[in-house]
Amino acid sequence: QSVLTQPPSVSATPGQKVTISCSGSSANIGSKYVSWYKHLPGTVPKLLIYENDRRPSGIPDRFSGSKSGTSATLGITELQTGDEADYYCGTWDNSLNAGVFGGGTKLTVL
């Protein structure tokens, strides 16, 4: 059972927009920065969003992040088949004194 809760799966068609939620508590999301990662099995996890809403160099602006209270959201617009992957949110938990990840959300682009 992950400290951060994500929907197991989401799906959408090419060109559409999708959002992935990440729910936590005041000990983690409510008081710390959130980051988001894209992970394809057999590859290296890739940082998409850091510090809630900032994009690393090279990440297109189709990807966005936001945070409100104890929840965070990853948004992906203009969906492409190449966006199919597992997406994870991550942050720090002040109660555990440890890093935490969500359980992951599998994005299917139909």
Partner 1 sequence: QLQLQESGPGLVKPSETLSLRCIVSGDSISDGNYYWAWIRQPPGRGLEWIGNVDYKQLTFQNPSLKNRVTISADTSNNQVSLTMTSVTAADEAVYYCARQRTGMDWHDPWGQGTLVTVSS
Residues that bind partner 1 (CB under 8 A): 2, 32-33, 35, 37, 39, 44-47, 50-51, 56, 86, 88, 90-92, 96-104
β pairing state of 18-23 and 71-76 = antiparallel
Q: What is the DSSP string of 57-78?
A: TT--TTEEEEEETTEEEEEE-S
Min dist. Cβ of residue 92 to partner 1 (A): 4
Q: Decide whether 79 or 90 has the Cβ nearer to partner 1.
A: 90
Q: Decide whether 37 or 109 has the Cβ nearer to partner 1.
A: 37
Min dist. Cβ of residue 102 to partner 1 (A): 7
- Least Cα distance to 23 among 69, 86, 54 occurs for 69
Q: Decide whether 77 or 94 has the Cβ nearer to partner 1.
A: 94
Min dist. Cβ of residue 104 to partner 1 (A): 4
Q: Decide whether 51 or 78 has the Cβ nearer to partner 1.
A: 51
- How far CA 28 is from CA of 4, 25, 95, in Å, comes to 8, 6, 8
End-to-end CA distance of the chain: 28
- Determine the Cα–Cα distance for residues 86 and 57; give it in Å rounded to an integer: 21
Min dist. Cβ of residue 101 to partner 1 (A): 4
